[in-house]
């Protein structure tokens, strides 16, 4: 609407003058020119979050893998495919006041990726070797220079959500983890709704299930409050 | 348009009374609840072909993996995810007068697919075991009962297109192979245009590069002519 457009134009709102990196969507890890490893992230939550942060006045750098939903209007978009490309784009986007890593980044890439379409080997099966991808969340969270004031990671779990995500926050060194249960029966990954647990230093908050837009708006408000408090 | 709608309604055209199976799109092979192996097929060529065959009066069973383009209107759609699901759907759709296998079916599935999201193993890397998927084209082409009169396979190659596709026709036992070069620099896989080589018993025809709709219409005419000739 017009009011939102004017607000964005004048960068009014509590995040005016703040630069925030948001990653979103899946990554694709090539096996050969036609095959790749993907994941079911649609980019819906990351996109909604970038839109909500932008509506609060932030300057957004939106770094997205091949998502199913279109990127938000009015933000700088960097389109990438693999985790390694995403890591490079995040490094290039620093410094920033906050970084919100909503993308579902592959942990591994195929080190034996081929320039030609893979043919069946003698035993009929492919032999893929994997290498670890850069850990974007940990790398940024543990920076000693130019660390964003607020680093937010996401944890997509299928079991022991709270334990896994709480451990992840400590292991990565980030400020918050937004955790959710992406078991197929929840319909969350690829769906319209989300039910998150927001984990910070003080503990964990269970948010009720709501639309991804509502989650985004409330997270954006919390990020705005945190940045005001920190700076 | 109205004319097309009326034609479809009355099932006029040279393929009236013919039942044709068309497969389309990629398949997704699960690694765990969130990760999967995919390929870059958009489903554009298979969808255009189903639409063109339907416009010539055929009854279409359209069996599609998770494609980016929407299925054609007015045809029976069977949505599947993995190659094994697609194979079962094809078997269930027989008998048919013709079968056109335009889908980009994964050769392999992950036999170690997990019900829970895969965690990093001790050495930090996944250990995926693969199994061969059913060979839908060969299975249908080599049926001794209820073999469709015309079985058409597709060959997506990145090198030695003609040699690879010619050998594939013989190896699979199908009537025609529609071959194309899906090297990334051609922009064909996922793009709007196609440049095919149509390979039959009599040899190979190089078609000029044209829209996928034009390829579909000309292939549909050829299929109609072949079915008329055979029956």
Q: What are the structural domains of chain A?
A: 2-116+125-230 (3.40.50.10300)
Contact B38 A36 (CB under 8 A): yes
* Residue range A78-99, pLDDT digits in tens: 999 999 999 999 999 999 999 9
Q: What is the enclosing helix (H) or strand (E) of A187?
A: none
- Residue A40 with chain B: CB contacts under 8 Å: 34-36
pLDDT value for A229? 78
Q: What are phi and psi of B88, to 5 degrees?
A: -65, -40
Q: What are phi and psi of A112, to 5 degrees?
A: -95, 20
ipTM of the complex: 0.85
Contact A116 B159 (CB under 8 A): yes
Contact B130 A132 (CB under 8 A): no
**Gyration radius of chain A over CA positions:** 18
Whole-Å CA distances, A31 to A51, A62, B37: 33, 26, 9
Q: Please say if the pLDDT value at position B153 is more than 90.
A: yes
Question: How far apart are the two ends of chain A, measured CA to CA in Å?
Answer: 31
pLDDT value for B132? 94
Q: What is the DSSP string of B208-223?
A: PPEEHHHHHHHHHHHH
Separation between Cα atoms, residue A142 and residue A153, nearest integer Å: 13
Chain A nearest CA to B197, separation (Å): 18
Q: Please say if the pLDDT value at position A103 is more than 60.
A: yes
User: Looking at A75-79, A116-120, A225-229, B88-92, which range is the least confident one?
Assistant: A116-120
* Residue range B5-63, pLDDT digits in tens: 665 566 579 999 999 999 999 999 999 999 999 999 999 999 999 999 999 999 999 99
Q: Please say if the pLDDT value at position B126 is more than 90.
A: no
Q: Please say if the pLDDT value at position B205 is more than 90.
A: yes
pLDDT value for B11? 59
Q: Please say if the pLDDT value at position A12 is more than 80.
A: no
- How does the average pLDDT of chain B come out, rounded? 92
B39 is annotated as an active-site residue: yes
Which residue do the tokens 């009929």 mark? A124
């Amino acid at each position: 609407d017009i009011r939102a457009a004017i607000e964005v134009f004048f960068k009014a709102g509590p995040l005016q003058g703040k630069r925030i990196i948001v990653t979103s969507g899946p990554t694709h890890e090539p096996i050969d020119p036609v095959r790749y490893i993907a994941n079911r992230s649609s980019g819906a939550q990351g996109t909604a979050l970038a839109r909500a942060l932008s509506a609060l006045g932030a300057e957004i750098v939106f770094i997205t893998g091949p998502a199913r939903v279109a990127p938000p209007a009015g933000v700088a978009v960097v389109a990438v495919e693999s985790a390694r490309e995403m890591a490079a784009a995040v490094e290039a986007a620093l410094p920033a006041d906050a970084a919100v890593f909503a993308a579902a980044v592959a942990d591994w890439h195929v080190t034996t990726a081929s320039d030609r379409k893979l043919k069946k080997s003698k035993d009929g099966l492919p032999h893929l070797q994997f290498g670890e991808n850069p850990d974007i969340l940990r790398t940024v969270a543990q920076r000693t220079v130019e660390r964003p004031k607020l680093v937010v990671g996401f944890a997509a779990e299928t079991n022991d959500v709270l334990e896994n995500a709480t451990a992840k926050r400590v292991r990565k060194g980030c400020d918050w983890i937004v955790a959710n249960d992406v078991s197929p029966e929840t319909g969350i990954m690829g769906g319209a709704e989300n039910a998150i647990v927001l984990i910070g230093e003080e503990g964990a908050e269970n948010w009720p299930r709501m639309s991804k837009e509502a989650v985004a708006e409330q997270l954006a408000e919390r990020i705005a409050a945190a940045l005001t408090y920190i700076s």
